Structure 1
Amino acid sequence: MSKLKIHGPNQSRALRTVWMANELGLDYEQDTMDFRSGVTRKPEYLSINRAGHVPAIEDGDFALGESCAINIYLAKKHGKLIPKDLQGEARVLEWSFWVMTDVEKPILNYLFHAAMLPEDQRDPKVVEQSKKDLEWPLTVLNNHLADHDYLVGNEFTVADLNVAGVLLWAKLSKFDMSAYPNIPDWLNRCTKRPAMPGR
């Protein structure tokens, strides 16, 4: 059986897939490419991920992009970290789609303009707009976590991993979570797991 190959460094969305592979105890190799160099737009890589982004995986002769999709595929393939019932699986999909559509872009904008970009390239208007854009999504998550330790069921699942993988950017940028007190507790539960890269 060929070894799983993960394309992308941990300083990218590939961290989510590396985390998932660690959770599952998989044997894998990681291509820690410099994805900013243009390598992901070359034909060799586009044959693996047509969108030209990281992460992507090669699992034998099967290739797949998009971190949340990859993680759900790996969870289903190995029968771990995903509910066995249809409704539970649907909840995993719901949270995974939600975090990518409602949270990822504004939290990434906040990260860059509050912390990552050189001072002279940061735009305070982007920071303020990002905070406004995140108010409702973070309220939704905070309210859910008021009476749930995890997002789906009573245990850590791929839904938690996918959502926490995005919310890590809030932690990295020191985003003020004082209005959403349940989120940091949940995020710490997720990121303190031994499988989390860098632990």
Structure 2
Amino acid sequence: MLKIYGVYRSRASRVYWMAEELGIPFEYIPVLQSHRLADPAAAGAPLNTRSPEFLAINPMALIPSIKDGDLVMHESLAITEYLAKKHGGPLAPKTPEEDALINMWTIWAASEVEVQTIQLVKTYDNALEKTEGGKSVIAVASRQLKRPLDVLEQHLAGREWIAADRFTAADLNVAEVLRYAQSEQALFDARPNIDAWIKRCQSRPAYLKMQAGRTNEPV
């Protein structure tokens, strides 16, 4: 059975969403981020990214990771593409061209968008949004997101999904990267194609099930 290492309140959410979309059974192995613990090495500390047991899986000390038979993988966006291709169905590419576009938009999300969206989510997670420093981070990240979001907005004109005529791994990956920016609703209000698209993505039953896992998980 597929093993997914990582809590829902992390980039592992992408992998849990994909597993739910594909309807594949998986073993949930909660691994906390070490920075959430006062002393991750303390006796009795929960399994975390600095635990020897997890470092044996991923020496980079990052979540998520998966173990699928003998295959061990890291990097959430690569994992979702792997699972889609392995299990087939509508989320997987049907042609080499679709495969290329799914990969292109996934890399685009990681390289052009995620740096800024992570800055946003960290600011809010650390309750810094009302401080002068936090406001500055939010303003800079929002400004830097405008150009890539304008590109996606134009791309989505006249189409429902990013890489094909249906929801694919590209939509899941990009939607999860952009979810971290949804605190800045003005970015979405100014781009109705993106706003409508992400609402379609987040209305899917598999997404709602993943979000329930996040809600039910201890903070």
Same fold (TM over 0.5): yes
Is 1:64 aligned to 2:64, yes or no? no
Q: Indicate the residue corresponding to 2:28 in structure 1.
A: 30
Q: Indicate the residue corresponding to 2:126 in structure 1.
A: 117
Mapped partners of 1:107, 1:175: distance in 2: 13
Contact 2:157–2:193 (CA<8 Å) still a contact in 1? yes
**Letter of the 1:48 counterpart:** I
Is 1:47 aligned to 2:56, yes or no? yes
Q: Indicate the residue corresponding to 1:198 in structure 2.
A: 211
Q: Indicate the residue corresponding to 2:96 in structure 1.
A: 86
Is 1:186 aligned to 2:197, yes or no? yes
**Letter of the 1:192 counterpart:** S
Query: CA, structure 1 residues 89+54, in 2 after alignment: closer, same or farther (shift >3 Å)?
Result: same
Query: CA, structure 1 residues 128+174, in 2 after alignment: closer, same or farther (shift >3 Å)?
Result: closer
Name the SS of the counterpart of 1:5 in structure 2.
strand
- Segments of 5+ residues of structure 1 without an aligned counterpart are none
**Letter of the 2:80 counterpart:** N
Give aligned-pair identity as a percent.
39
Q: Indicate the residue corresponding to 2:179 in structure 1.
A: 168
Mapped partners of 2:135, 2:58: distance in 1: 35
Is 1:103 aligned to 2:113, yes or no? yes
Q: CA deviation at 1:32?
A: 1.9
Q: Which moved more, 1:77-86 or 1:38-47?
A: 38-47
**Letter of the 1:165 counterpart:** E
Name the SS of the counterpart of 2:180 in structure 1.
helix
Name the SS of the counterpart of 1:57 in structure 2.
strand
Q: Select 1:132's aligned residue among 137, 143, 150.
A: 143
Q: Indicate the residue corresponding to 2:11 in structure 1.
A: 13
**Letter of the 2:7 counterpart:** P
Mapped partners of 1:121, 1:65: distance in 2: 36
Mapped partners of 2:82, 2:203: distance in 1: 23
- Segments of 5+ residues of structure 2 without an aligned counterpart are 41-47, 213-219
Mapped partners of 1:126, 1:47: distance in 2: 35
Contact 1:112–1:122 (CA<8 Å) still a contact in 2? no
Contact 2:142–2:184 (CA<8 Å) still a contact in 1? no
Please give the root-mean-square deviation of Cα atoms over the aligned residues, in Å. 1.7
Q: CA deviation at 1:122?
A: 4.9
Mapped partners of 1:50, 1:34: distance in 2: 15
Q: Deviations over 1:57-90 (max 9, x none)?
A: 0111211001110011101111121112111101
Q: CA deviation at 1:187?
A: 0.4
Is 1:159 aligned to 2:165, yes or no? no
Q: CA deviation at 1:28?
A: 0.5
Query: CA, structure 1 residues 121+64, in 2 after alignment: closer, same or farther (shift >3 Å)?
Result: farther
Q: CA deviation at 1:121?
A: 8.2
